[in-house]
Amino acid sequence: MRKVITYGTFDLLHYGHINLLKRAKELGDYLIVCVSTDEFNWNEKKKKSYFTYEQRKALLESIRYVDLVIPEETWEQKRNDIHEYHIDTFVIGDDWKGKFDYLKDEGCEVIYIPRTPEISTSQIKAELNNGKKE
């Protein structure tokens, strides 16, 4: 069985997230999604999610491409997750290109998937704050 893992906040779930999850699942048999906890988002990423960790986790668990959802609590846990869950492929959006190449040393393939260009959570939040969709 080929295991794939991806990481993210997955706030205001949208079709760009679904595209990423679908493409990640196509790379293996079992997809683990590691979701940033509220504390990690605030303390490390300096951002607040609209939905709580538990709400985001429940949304992701309802998606057919996702086999397991686990919490992301630190930047450093990726190495441990790869070994603990016997991960073959690490997948993340290409806006992180090159940042996780060090995980290849852990015996796992690293793939940067192109983002869906016309959508992002930041864009949705900005448009909602401005009261318009461009």
- Residue 131 phi, psi dihedral angles, 5° rounding: 75, 25
Task: Report, as residue numbers or ranges, the catalytic residues.
Answer: 45, 47
Query: 100 in helix, strand or coil?
Result: coil
User: In the block, which residue shows the tokens 């595209």?
Assistant: 19
